[in-house]
Structure 1
Amino acid sequence: MQKPAVRPQEIYLDNNATTPVLACAAQAVQHTMQQCFGNPSSSHSTGIKAKVELETTRQLARQLVGAGSGDIVFTSGATEGIQSSIFSALLHARMSGKTGPAYTLLYGATEHKAVPQSLEHWNHVLQLGARIKAIPVDQHGVLDFEFIRTELPNTLLICTMAANNETGVKQDLVALQQLIRSVAPQVLWMVDCVQALGKMPLQLEHMTIDYAPFSGHKLYAPKGIGFLYVREGTPYQPLLAGGGQESGLRSGTENLPGIAALKAIFQQLKLKEDSVFQSEPQLWAYREQLLSALRRVFPDLVLNSDKPYIVPTTINFSVPGFASKDIMDLFDAAGIRVSSGSACSSKIPTSFVLNAMGLPLWRSQGAIRLSFGPAMTVGECQQACQAILALKTVVNSCCLVLSDASSTELQPVTGLVQLKHEDLCSYLLVSADTSEVIIIDAVLPLASRIAQLVQGHQFKVRAILDTHVHKDHPSARPELATLLADLLDKVPTDVLGWPLAAPLLQMGAYQLESLATPGHSPEAVTIVVTQHHQQKFAFVGDFILPGGTGRLDLPGGDTKAFRLSLRALDQKLESHTLLLSSHDYAQRFFTRWDLMLQEQPVLQQVLHTEATPELWLSDLQRQTQWLQQQAGHFCGVVEVCASDATAVIDKHQIAALIQQHPNLQIWDVREPHEQAAGALSVYLPDLVCKEVPLSALVQQVTEQQTATPQPLLLVCRSGNRSLLAAKVLNRAGFDLVFNLKGGVALLA
């Protein structure tokens, strides 16, 4: 398909994370830093002017949130406000003699992590010894009132939110107040109001909320400024003592430039007409327009939160078959900034908020948060919708969403495609000449993506194969056989999907042979692939792992059978053949026979001696003990080795690198949908960039094995995947591999 000719314009739709500073706020900051720069504690005229600015802003804040006789304390932001509130409440409990496990600290299960972590911290530091409990929520994200009612009599502090940062779900504060004060009139109550200001009305003087933290950078002010509301008569202990600023409630010279920015924001919020802040009906209209554009691109989109439970400025959605990273990478390549709203992990991120709501795992792992600010303009909304709609062609051409193939130019798919879900690997071997595909070791989380790719290209499915009966997950063969029924060869097969009447499988230039390799499991096979009479790949399942071997302590595991199978492979495989496993715990993508023996020298003894080596047996015993102690299922153990790029360079060093290596190749290792959404050539217009997505890296390695090695510069979105690819290539013998620090993100 035709690549974009110009750089995509940035469309920022992650306002729940932070917001740009409004022009009027930026001007107020600059004016205060240069003109009204006095210290509010100084008694001369310059200080008095600063003091007036400070107190004027405080009064505006008081009016906006309806503070009444409560205190408004300027802070560095929400985290400080949360810490101050929880510290004060827990210290008050300790000084009142309310300690020990008979007492409870409650917080909503979907609260920002700052709340439970602060509760744990101060409960430990103050040695309060109270139990900390999460209040469950229903599928809409609404707090469980019956749980609260049961726990309140022994509760010291209850923490809830006005509006959730991931889902936009708002809590009914009036109903909560009625419940809390009817059961426990004296309990202290903190409400996180960070996502509320400018999005929902607040009149705290009519409520019995004790603490309410706010943050400036969530509402167009700079980072590092916020304020805390404290109800009159509520216990409060300053975290910071010293100069006595803020009436002794928070010492330290006030952040007057940040406070001036708040003043400018507050003045806009108070305007009845011509304010930059939009009315609630207008915000709902923006939401509907954005949601309509999203559904045009992803017809199967599912909302994870919706009316009437939310504020209008947050859209949290998932798309079947997509992990959140897939959509984030796609959007980011097109210049659209959204968030997964998820806690990062070593595997696929999941949203603890959606998990607490009891939503299916696929929705939690695929959650995308699109959030716009209450000052969005009509033009900005239209621009965002146009940018989203432009992705329809991309997702169709890459078969991420099925559509009429005649309406778009499909991205070519040929050779080996390696798809990953966490540490699981699935493979497609594609013969472009004959429009055929063989699917190997498919896993259920990738079944939809595989099916759409095959259906989009209308590949004839020669076979859906497994290398063994998987111990830790079900095979996706039955699911794919149903999804691809119209394209699949309908022939009798064995338990692993191999056609019974075919000792060899011929597909275009590829020939596949199945070799029995029991050991990890009794029915396991290795599928050896030749192309033009040259061995290319061997699909080894869990018999061999990149950097390790499959475990032998599972039912059917057999050390003697393993040794015999290892010897059979030693006779069968060629040195350059790439070994492809169904697990890749160390992110190595593949191994080779020589690499395996080099990294696991004990296997040399297994191959060449009749007696089983004692060292190997002791290693197996050690690995077995470790594996049996793990919470999750592992099909083997790998030893992680250190390897890296030859050098990490930044964008300013590219010209010097090319001068030093005139034959330098630049590889874009982003996935095809990212490349289609935002071509690397628009950032490096004078250079030739080759598209080598990580899913095709193994195919590229086998194509390069007979070529003269050339220096490579790898580029991805952030520099992380390209560094991973550099490690893979280093291990495969590529000597000069450079990684671009920060990737496209710093080129943009």
Structure 2
Amino acid sequence: MKDIYLDCNATTSVLPAAVAAASAAMAHGYGNPSSTHATGLQAKAMMDGVRALARRLLGAGEGRLMFNSGATEGIQTAVLSALCALRERRDAGHRIGALLLYGATEHKAVPESLAHWNRLLGLNLTLRQLPVGTDGRHDLDVLGELIGDTAMLCTMAANNETGVISDLSAIAQLLQERGAHAYWMVDCVQALGKLQLNLAATRIDYAPFSGHKLYAPKGIGMLYVRAGAPFTPLIMGGGQETGLRSGTENMAGIAALGAVLAALDDGSTFRSHAELLSFRTRLVASLEAALPGIVFNMPFDRSLPTTVNFSVPGLSSKELLDLFDAAGVRVSSGSACSAAKALPSYVLAAMQVPAWRASSAIRLSFGPLTDEATILAACERIEHCGEALRGSCLLPSILSPLSPLAALRDGVTALSVDGHTTWLLTDAASASCVVIDPLAALVPRIAAFIGCQDYTVRAIVQTETSPQADAAHQMLAAALEITQLDEFDAHGTLAFGAGLRRLACGDASMYLLGQEFAFIGTLAPQAAIAALAEALRLDTVLCASRDDGSVCNTVRAAQQQAAASAAPQLDAAGLEAFLRAQPDAIVVDVREAYEHAACATRVFDGCTVHSVPLSRLAGEVAGWLREPQRPLVFVCRSGNRSARAAACLHRLGHKAAWQLNGGLAMATLATLPSLAFAA
């Protein structure tokens, strides 16, 4: 299954012509352009040719254009140049303004650079965000109020998360009308190849660019400096780039960037604006068909045609990322530089987007080299993702409750959020379920699960009472339209599955499902065992309402106070050999059901991969512990969930539990050519 890459705002693949140009530069044009012999002169001629082409395409006019390592260096250089000039002006007795003003949706490199150099240069100016409207564009009224006291203004041509295009003409007009003397930097990283640029005809003082956003390699970029704008080199040394940026030039990167610029110049390599718009229209239609209730977080008429930012009610960005990744569609949850921090998007927050949308947004971005076949394949997979979500009852569904994909099996499911866990017990034979310790944040999901499958709710119970727990209980009962529900008899027993018993422990309650599971709330395992000593077996699985990463426990492991330890690991290259040597091994994919449904079927040496989501792991451990010598290999997308699963089994006494290091993301078709998924 070929991956479909829709994260081009983070980085792009390298244009084949750029790869060839870089290779040729390394193999044949390897001269130092500062050398005066023929080889050096040839290298300098190539570099000068690329610079001349870039100047023409960007409309640089008499401005300076230097090669550098990319946008971050360009931003640093621009900020340093402007702030050094401001300090000189202030020292000479001139008024410079008190504000360093930057757009609220700027890349974090901008405010970080402003703060860094403001501190080091001792300027002590005030950093201030320029707010944006709900459409993501800068608030010109606020800019008009602040521009007279602004020393430097930093905005962007187009936003990397939403694709919103700034109204640079209106900003320039305002600067002119107010006679503002502020230095102006415009981040043009997302503009190259997507917007018409004629920099010398604008009021822009500095414009950084990054090659890897438009099919050049990482590590090569450009900085435009308007003629007459102050400049201070960030790097001093041998005086390369006519003294603007010292250090021997990255000739392979420059050659590759030149190939990209040549492709941009020829007008036939990259898709037209109209083609890109049509691609976005198709993707949006498939997203709307696949994800009912989808909300788009950018105005289509004021955004790049290559960027779509959206949120889906009831689905987190992680769930959507995992789902799309399983389907082989690579998207992101925002800026690649901040996605790993798992915080709500500050860009969307600045646009006054509701918190749930800012924290669950997905960015889908393609590039001007993307072809129609890729878009059509992406649309097909996106719609398949929607089917997987509906089949797993995470979206409104017309599937029968008895659909093999939709139906929950007997057992226990853990639903966790913010370190707390709700347990959902299901009994397929009676089409009924019990909810233990419902959480308010999970009420919509629990109600959707139950409603989708038309299960009868036998009980909603809590291990502890508190205002928050009571409120969540009432919310779930209201969502399920249940007015009164207490089917436990006088002995605290409910006829459900193997029998559900309620036992008091001080002010708290615990629940036993047969002798297989004990739901102990927030009690420590040792305290729960002491309170329920006669009702438990050594292999009883202890299920807590706190999610500390351990997944679950057993009485035996708790009595032995087994410490968590990392399970042994396999890398993707060694997995095939391991399974050949261990033909009785069980491979367990702990991704969620909707990820399995979205994933293409593969067969690996006849070995079946069992689907046991991490949320249902507690219900399976007892069976695996009965065969402690049989190898278990846990896999997931990145290795995080499989590491938790393997560590859990290892701690519980299954010393033959392994995990695939790095997850399926590190496995290639060469090392992991075939996997067959089974329920």
Q: What TM-score does the superposition give when structure 2 sets the normalisation length? A: 0.91
CA deviation profile, 1:214-249 (whole Å, cap 9, x unmatched): 010100111111101111111111111112111110
Match of 1:588 in 2: 550
Q: How does 1:435-450 map to 2 (within 5 A)?
A: 435-450=431-446
Q: Is the 8 A contact 1:60 1:266 kept in 2?
A: yes
Match for 1:256 among 248, 251, 262? 251
Secondary structure class of the residue paired with 1:169: coil
Change (3 A) 1:346 1:22: closer
Q: Which residue of 2 aligns with 1:643?
A: 565
Return closer, same or farther for 1:183/1:341 CA change in 2, 3 Å cut-off.
same
User: Where does residue 326 of structure 1 map in the other structure?
Assistant: 319
| Within-5 A mapping of 1:285-684 | 285-341=278-334, 349-406=343-400, 409-414=404-409, 415-470=411-466, 475-485=471-481, 490=483, 492-493=484-485, 498-499=486-487, 503-518=491-506, 522=507, 524-530=508-514, 535-542=515-522, 544=523, 568-570=531-533, 572-584=535-547, 586-593=548-555, 595=557, 642-645=564-567, 647-658=568-579, 661-678=582-599, 682=602, 684=604
Structure 1, residues 250-307: CA drift from partner, whole Å, max 9, x if none? Answer: 11121122212222222222234xx122222221111110011111111211111122
**Cα distance change of structure 1 residues 176 and 598 upon mapping to structure 2, 3 Å threshold:** farther
Matched, 1:103 2:24: no
Change (3 A) 1:444 1:203: farther
Identity %: 42
- Contact in 1 for aligned 2:333/2:339 (Cα 8 Å): no
- Compare 117-126 and 687-696 and name the one that shifted more: 117-126
Deviation (angstroms), 1:730: 2.0
1:101·1:129 contact (CA, 8 Å) conserved in 2? no
Cα root mean square deviation, aligned:
2.8
Q: Deviations over 1:499-548 (max 9, x none)?
A: 47665453542322223334xxx5x3222221xxxx12222333x2579x
1:740 maps onto 2:665 in alignment: no
CA contact 1:443–1:474 (8 Å) conserved in 2: no
Distance, in Å, in 1 between the alignment partners of 2:341 and 2:28 is: 51
Q: How many Å separate the matches in 1 of 2:176 and 2:524?
A: 60
Determine if the alignment matches structure 1 residue 126 to structure 2 residue 121.
yes
Q: Return the letter of the residue paired with 1:589.
A: V
* C-alpha distance in 1 between matches for 2:472 and 2:104: 34
- What amino acid is aligned across from residue 575 of structure 2 in structure 1? I
Corresponding residue number in structure 1 for 2:226 = 231
How much has 1:594 moved relative to structure 2? 5.7
Structure 2: gaps (5+ residues)? 669-679
Q: Residue type of the partner of 1:312?
A: P
1:16 matched to 2:9? The reply is yes
Letter in 1 for 2:661: K
Contact kept, 8 Å, 2:625 with 2:653, in 1: the verdict is: no
Distance change >3 Å, CA 347–CA 197, structure 1 → 2: closer
Range 704-713 or range 52-61, more displaced: 704-713
Normalising by structure 1, report the TM-score: 0.83
Q: Secondary structure at the match of 1:439?
A: strand
Deviation at 1:660, TM superposition (A): 5.4
Shift of 1:93: 2.4
Q: 1:43 to 1:20 in 2, by over 3 A?
A: same
- 1:681-709 per-position Cα deviation (integer Å, ceiling 9, x unaligned): 62634323222210111111133344444
Q: By how many angstroms is 1:474 displaced?
A: 7.1
> How far off its partner does 1:471 sit?
5.8
Q: Is the 8 A contact 2:189 2:213 kept in 1?
A: yes
CA distance in 2, matches of 1:660, 1:282: 52
CA distance in 1, matches of 2:96, 2:532: 61
CA change 1:224–1:346 in 2 (3 A) is: closer
Aligned length, in residue pairs: 663
Q: Matches of 1:249 and 1:346 in 2, distance apart?
A: 34
Counterpart contact for 1:106–1:135, Cα < 8 Å: yes
Q: Are positions 1:201 and 2:196 aligned together?
A: yes
- Give the counterpart letter for 1:265 in structure 2: V
Offset, 1:595: 5.0
CA distance in 1, matches of 2:543, 2:86: 60
Matched letter for residue 657 of structure 2: V
| Counterpart-to-counterpart distance in 2, 1:177 and 1:262 | 29
Query: Which stretch shows the higher mean deviation, 568-577 or 376-385?
Result: 568-577
Asked if 1 retains the 8 angstrom alpha-carbon contact of 2:435 and 2:461, the reply is yes
Match of 1:383, SS?
helix
1:278–1:502 distance in 2 versus 1, CA, 3 Å: farther
Question: What does residue 557 of structure 1 align with?
Answer: none
Q: Distance in 2 between matches of 1:295 and 1:121?
A: 43
Unpaired runs of 5+ residues, structure 1, are 1-7, 548-562, 601-640
